[in-house]
Amino acid sequence: MSGRGKGGKGLGKGGAKRHRKVMRENIQGITKPA
């Protein structure tokens, strides 16, 4: 996958537009503990 430095899941870029539900969980599960 594309690991840029955040979660490597595309959350906030393609993930935010494609997986809106997953993006919310990723943001809280990646930006919170990170």
- For the chain, which residues make up each domain, given as ranges? 7-34
pLDDT surpasses 50 at 1: no
pLDDT for 8-29, tens place per residue?
555 555 544 555 666 666 666 6
pLDDT surpasses 50 at 3: no
The predicted structure's pLDDT at residue 5: 54
pLDDT surpasses 50 at 30: yes
**What is the model's pTM?**
0.18
**1-34 per-residue burial string, b: 16 or more CB within 10 A, e: under 16:** eeeeebbebbbbeebeeeeeeebeebbeebeeee
SS3 32: coil
